Amino acid sequence: MSGPAPTSPLARVLRWEDAGGTWRRETGGAEQASVVLCRCDGGEEVERIVSSDPELLAFLDGVPADDER
């Protein structure tokens, strides 16, 4: 089974979620997206990923901008 490269933006988001953190899509479009990684104990922003990685964009395609995971 193949997945995203270990250092890809998508892998970072999935690893964050697997570790119990939350994230939300801040902005996005066909060419670039911004994902905010938040702490699991209150939602404080820890990191922001801004990327044009095709894998991340495809993953986020069905995620509404205000959906927090």
> Which residues are CB-neighbours of 16 under 8 A, at least 6 positions away?
23, 37
- Residue 60, helix vs strand vs coil: helix
Tell me which residue has tokens 């699991």. 40
**What's the confidence (pLDDT) of residue 64?**
65
User: What does pTM read for this prediction?
Assistant: 0.80
SS3 content of the chain, % helix, strand, coil (to 5): 25, 30, 45
- Specify the range with the lowest mean pLDDT, choosing from 29-33, 44-48, 49-53: 29-33
Q: Say if residue 68's pLDDT is above 70.
A: no
Residue-by-residue DSSP string for 22-52:
EEEEEEE-SS-EEEEEE-TTT--EEEEEEE-
Query: Of 65 and 10, which is predicted with more confidence?
Result: 10
Query: Of 2 and 57, which is predicted with more confidence?
Result: 57
**What's the confidence (pLDDT) of residue 7?**
83
Per-domain residue ranges for the chain? 9-60
